[in-house]
């Protein structure tokens, strides 16, 4: 996966494109040289220093300052900039044994160079380097040992501990779930687990407002990226939400997306405008308006192709509209799709069907057939609701059930008697069977607040404030102006009664924190200046002109018990930040958009809030603020609770509302009647829509969307990973080995000190942000701390950097033990599969270290000489035996060959175990899908085909695993130290 400045992110240094599943699994022995001094030529062979598990790549294109390298065994193409490419040139030496793609062995007799390419002269003729195998097993550690280029024994031990840690992390069933700086919310994690377990991931995430659809999408995205199943991702969101997504992805998941706007695309397209800017980054975030309105942007995005497409606020996709048509084209070139909306049936059932068609055109091709299936599903859902509520089923219900199960009597034989005895377990078994057979939820997830529970109460404080007409006029014009600069110069908050209200609130709530949100940064700054003149409490600002680091620091200061009493935010404060520790929210002004108001309230009204949320709405009479306050409160019921109909009702009345707010309200009272009529009409529409939503509640879909027991099991495993002290210990050793000093502040929170830039070895850690914590709760309270987990790019990057280097792969040691004098070769082999990252082969056979100890008599002493050594080994710089030519020429190579045989035997056992797990897990899921499809057409044949293909390729990849020598240590066992 791509890296940039320590984040899982998009950049032009390292892009990936999946290849067709045409894989080769051959192995050869040899000794490569490395370096990036030579120029790149098509046909050359190179290795990735950061991702050696991709095998040996071949240069397939050199264009300008970029080079494309195809890793056939890794199943991908990488693009690098020539100057900074983390690559090693592969050139074998005379005497090496090389192997071709046809698995034929040859010995190198002579090397020829021609135009930057290598040809190897062998007893069987000349071989071009492009004909060599795509995978190699190198013996460089052994060569370093023989030539005396060794590291300390401590470095060798650290390398072994790092391999053991990496094996354990790769094998973890919660890999990719532990890294998010988030509360562990059961329904969110359940959806993420369910989606990432599929081979094809296309779904509508339709949880109600405040349940965290963005987090669900990020969890899915993050897990797939960490496990290597995603390379290219396009996220299209409304313009107002671009910053929300950017912050959520970066701050909570260390995913660095590149924001594309018109200027960015034009710059990347070049002077001639011919280059496709969407090929310049693999993780792209773009606003939907730009994507649709820019005539070049849409075609560029479609031609680029994507692993995953995410579309937020998908209810705005109207069938046959330009945004819908473009999304349909993007869906054709995207393997996975996530559509997000809190109102899936916005604009009616037909629009909902159209959005489902984006996910699966073959499944949702006929609207009338869909309506009939939906009606049958509604009946199933009604029966499920009665089963769950313990209500006795009617004859009509049993008739319906017979039709659901194909009209057979088997249903009554298996369930009828137990149901007749009112058995709760029978009811739940039947509901589970209904879920599998008739759940429309394969394409849709929808959780409701009523089903999830755990939300705080809301209290609303509406405060009308009277002022002189000239002040009301200023405030009104300030609210309706579309020119922030004009507003900032013309309006002062000095006489604004809302400032006095906020000051009185701060005094009345004692030491409690207050979050204030207003529409513009100019407002936030002006309110801050005016408030400081009235109160002596510390305040903090939060707006878009501040850097992300400064926002983090101000948010952390606000969260601190001794920090700021009030945080004054522009609208950005309602986007992507959560403040569950705050109970008082001041809506200083109100935007002409109910969804933005819901976003503001959602910063506090979330799962995890410990008390009631008190919403303060001060408004100045005879201004636009009064119109919105009264309409939102009395007409849309927006403040007291979630208002799923608010957006639709507001949109229907928008023209009348705009006409009213454009009037000079401060001059007379003639507008009151029109406002009252609007309130009455809005209330009527809201009540009607709310009743429709309540009647349409789908208990079966809710059950599909959240299974608490399975979620609890997943959370338990994540908490186990959170509490892994061994992980923190080994990571601390790695930090110290790279020269980083650690000061333990408290518990599992450290302050790091380094004389150089920390991110040189630990991508994502910055000297400007030296505080790190392994504790999730601490990370949630302190946004300026780095949350270190096995998923953090600093961990994966540091492990790749260390284990991909020569550090610690050759060492000498003295073992001051009693007994016969011996020469021991400790060899560590890594059992590896070279496979496309998206195959997730590490779930079954991650790179596994195999430690072997062979003595000079070629006896396997691994079990007797188990680590840790007793007495401990002592590092030495030389062993006299290495000066013996006969030992170097015959004995040590024989010891190494004995170790190879033992490693191959261990590999055979590991392969058999991994194959059994592949067939149990992947094969079992395939069998389940085949069985379910017989009764549930919502399971597409494409998903079954993908699962079958995945099983076949996994079996081939795992069967082709081979041991690779990673590190060696020569040990002299003697009472006396070597001279």
Residue 436 clears pLDDT 80, i.e. is over it? no
Residue 334 clears pLDDT 70, i.e. is over it? yes
| CA dist list (Å): 259 to 236, 237, 242, 284 | 10, 11, 8, 6
Of the chain, the percentage scoring pLDDT greater than 70 comes to: 89
CA triple 224-843-761, angle to 5 deg: 65
For the chain, give every residue range classified as CATH 3.30.360.80.
Answer: 715-803
Cα separation, 450 vs 407, in Å, equals: 34
Greater pLDDT, 787 or 5: 787
Of the chain, the percentage scoring pLDDT greater than 90 comes to: 47
Mean pLDDT calculated for residue range 723-751: 93
In CATH terms, the fold of domain 3-138 is SH3 type barrels. (2.30.30)
**Would you place residue 419 in the very low, low, confident or very high pLDDT band (cuts 50, 70, 90)?**
low
**Would you place residue 390 in the very low, low, confident or very high pLDDT band (cuts 50, 70, 90)?**
confident
- CB of 331 closer than 8 Å to CB of 339: no
Cα separation, 888 vs 882, in Å, equals: 6
For the chain, give every residue range classified as CATH 3.40.50.300.
Answer: 458-696
CATH number of 186-363: 3.40.50.10810
**Would you place residue 19 in the very low, low, confident or very high pLDDT band (cuts 50, 70, 90)?**
very low
User: The pTM is what?
Assistant: 0.77
In CATH terms, the fold of domain 458-696 is Rossmann fold (3.40.50)
Residue 286 clears pLDDT 80, i.e. is over it? yes
Residue 421 clears pLDDT 60, i.e. is over it? no
DSSP designation for 684? H
- CB of 134 closer than 8 Å to CB of 53: no
Mean pLDDT calculated for residue range 482-511: 77
- Per residue in 739-770, pLDDT tens? 999 999 988 999 998 877 888 889 888 776 68
For the chain, give every residue range classified as CATH 2.30.30.140.
Answer: 3-138
Q: Decide yes or no: CATH 3.30.360.80 for domain 715-803.
A: yes
How high is the mean pLDDT of the chain?
A: 85
- Per residue in 544-585, pLDDT tens? 888 877 887 888 899 888 999 999 999 876 555 678 889 999
Q: What is the pLDDT of residue 576?
A: 57
Q: What is the pLDDT of residue 417?
A: 55
Mean pLDDT calculated for residue range 654-666: 90
Cα separation, 476 vs 623, in Å, equals: 5
Residue 904 clears pLDDT 80, i.e. is over it? yes
- Per residue in 226-281, pLDDT tens? 998 888 999 999 887 888 799 889 989 999 999 999 999 999 988 888 889 999 89
Burial class of residue 603 (count of CB atoms within 10 Å of its CB; 0-12, 13-18, 19+):
buried
Residue 136 clears pLDDT 70, i.e. is over it? no
> Which residue do the tokens 């690098």 mark?
80
For the chain, give every residue range classified as CATH 3.40.50.10810.
Answer: 186-363
Q: What is the pLDDT of residue 43?
A: 93
Of 53-67, 118-132, 433-447, 915-929, the range with the lowest mean pLDDT is 433-447
Residue 64 clears pLDDT 90, i.e. is over it? no
Q: What is the pLDDT of residue 938?
A: 66
CA triple 31-34-36, angle to 5 deg: 160
- Per residue in 832-863, pLDDT tens? 988 877 777 888 899 999 999 999 999 999 98
Mean pLDDT calculated for residue range 418-438: 67
Question: Could you tell me how far CA 391 lies from the centroid of its own chain?
Answer: 42
**Would you place residue 901 in the very low, low, confident or very high pLDDT band (cuts 50, 70, 90)?**
very high
């Amino acid at each position: 996966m791509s890296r940039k400045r320590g984040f899982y992110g998009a950049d032009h240094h390292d892009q990936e494109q999946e290849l067709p599943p045409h894989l080769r699994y051959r192995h050869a022995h040899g000794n490569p040289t490395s370096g990036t001094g030579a120029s790149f030529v098509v046909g050359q062979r190179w290795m990735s220093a950061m991702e050696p598990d991709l095998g040996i790549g071949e240069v397939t294109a050199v264009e300008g300052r970029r080079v494309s390298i195809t890793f056939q065994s890794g199943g991908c193409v990488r693009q690098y900039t020539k100057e900074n490419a983390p690559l090693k040139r592969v050139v074998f030496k005379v005497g090496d044994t090389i192997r071709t793609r046809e698995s034929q062995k040859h010995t190198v007799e002579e090397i020829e160079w021609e135009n930057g390419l290598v040809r190897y002269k062998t007893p069987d003729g000349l071989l071009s380097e492009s004909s060599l195998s795509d995978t190699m097993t190198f013996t460089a550690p052994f060569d370093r040992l023989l030539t005396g280029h060794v590291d300390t024994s401590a470095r060798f031990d650290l390398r072994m501990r790092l391999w053991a840690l990496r094996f354990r992390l790769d094998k973890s069933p919660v890999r990719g779930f532990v890294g998010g700086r988030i509360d562990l919310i059961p329904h969110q994690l359940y959806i993420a687990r369910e989606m990432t377990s599929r081979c094809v991931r296309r779904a509508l995430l339709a949880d109600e407002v405040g349940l965290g659809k963005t987090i669900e999408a990020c969890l899915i995205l993050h897990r797939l990226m960490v496990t290597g199943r995603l390379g290219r991702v396009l996220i299209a969101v409304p313009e107002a939400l671009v910053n929300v997504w950017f912050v959520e992805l970066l701050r909570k998941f260390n995913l660095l997306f590149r924001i594309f706007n018109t200027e960015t695309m034009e710059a990347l397209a070049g002077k001639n405008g011919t280059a496709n800017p969407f090929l310049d980054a693999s993780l792209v975030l773009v606003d939907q308006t730009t994507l649709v309105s820019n005539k070049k942007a849409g075609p560029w995005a479609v031609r680029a192709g994507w692993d995953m497409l995410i579309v937020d606020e998908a209810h705005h996709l109207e069938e046959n509209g330009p945004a819908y048509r473009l999304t349909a084209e993007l869906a054709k070139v995207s393997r996975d799709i996530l559509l997000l909306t809190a109102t899936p049936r916005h604009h009616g059932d037909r629009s909902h069907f159209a959005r489902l068609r984006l996910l699966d055109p073959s499944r949702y091709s006929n609207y009338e057939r869909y309506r009939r299936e939906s009606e049958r599903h509604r009946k199933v859902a009604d029966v499920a609701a009665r089963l769950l509520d313990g209500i006795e089923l009617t004859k009509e219900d049993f008739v319906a059930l017979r039709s659901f199960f194909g009209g057979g009597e088997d249903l009554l034989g298996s369930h009828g008697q137990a149901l007749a005895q009112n058995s709760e377990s029978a009811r739940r078994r039947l509901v589970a069977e209904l879920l599998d057979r008739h759940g429309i939820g394969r394409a849709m997830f929808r959780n409701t607040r009523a089903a999830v529970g755990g939300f705080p109460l809301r209290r609303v404080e509406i405060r009308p404030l009277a002022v002189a007409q000239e002040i009301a006029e200023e405030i009104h014009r300030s609210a309706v102006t579309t020119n922030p600069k004009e507003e900032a110069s013309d309006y002062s908050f000095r006489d604004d009664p809302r400032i006095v209200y906020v000051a009185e609130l701060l005094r009345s709530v004692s030491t409690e924190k207050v979050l204030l949100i207003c529409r513009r940064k100019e407002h936030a700054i002006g309110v801050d200046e005016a408030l400081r003149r009235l109160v002596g409490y510390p305040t903090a600002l939060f707006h878009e002109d501040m850097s992300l680091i400064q926002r983090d620091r101000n948010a952390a200061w606000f969260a601190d018990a001794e920090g700021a009493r009030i945080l004054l935010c522009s609208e950005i404060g309602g986007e992507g930040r959560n403040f569950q520790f705050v109970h008082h929210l001041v809506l200083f002004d109100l935007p002409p958009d109910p969804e933005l108001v819901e976003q503001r309230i959602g910063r506090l009204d979330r799962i995890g809030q410990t008390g009631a949320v008190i919403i303060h709405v001060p408004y100045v009479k005879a201004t636009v603020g009064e119109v919105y306050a009264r309409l939102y409160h009395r007409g849309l019921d927006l403040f007291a609770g979630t208002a799923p109909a608010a957006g639709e009702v507001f949109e229907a009345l928008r023209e009348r509302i705009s006409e009213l707010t454009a009037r000079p309200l401060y001059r007379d009272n003639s507008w009151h009647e029109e406002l009252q009529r609007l309130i009455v009409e809005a209330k009527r529409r809201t009540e009607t829509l709310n009743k429709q939503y309540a009647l349409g509640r789908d208990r079966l879909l809710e059950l599909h969307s959240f299974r608490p027991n399975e979620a609890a099991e997943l959370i338990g495993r994540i908490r186990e990973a959170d509490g892994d002290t061994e992980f923190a210990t080994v990571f601390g050793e790695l930090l110290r080995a790279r020269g980083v000093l650690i000061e333990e502040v408290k518990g599992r929170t450290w302050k790091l000190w380094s004389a150089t830039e920390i991110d040189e070895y630990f991508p994502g850690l910055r000297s400007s942000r030296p505080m790190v914590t392994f504790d999730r709760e601490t990370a949630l309270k302190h946004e300026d701390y780095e949350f270190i987990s096995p998923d953090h790019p600093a961990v994966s990057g540091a492990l790749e950097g260390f284990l991909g280097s020569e550090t610690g792969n050759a060492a000498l040691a003295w073992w001051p033990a009693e007994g016969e004098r011996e020469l021991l070769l400790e060899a560590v082999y890594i059992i590896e599969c070279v496979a496309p990252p998206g195959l997730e082969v590490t779930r079954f056979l991650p790179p596994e270290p195999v430690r072997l100890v062979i003595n000079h008599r070629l006896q396997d002493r691994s079990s007797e000489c188990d680590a840790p050594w007793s007495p401990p080994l002592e590092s030495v710089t030389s062993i006299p035996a290495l000066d013996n030519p006969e030992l170097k020429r015959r004995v040590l190579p024989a010891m190494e060959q004995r170790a190879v045989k033992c490693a191959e035997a261990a590999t055979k056992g590991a392969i058999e175990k991994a194959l059994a797990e592949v067939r149990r897990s992947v094969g079992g899921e395939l069998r389940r899908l085949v069985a379910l499809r017989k009764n549930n057409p919502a399971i597409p044949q494409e998903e079954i085909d993908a699962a079958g293909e995945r099983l076949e390729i996994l079996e081939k990849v795992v069967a082709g695993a081979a041991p690779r020598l990673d590190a060696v240590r020569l040990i002299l066992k003697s009472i006396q130290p070597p001279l």
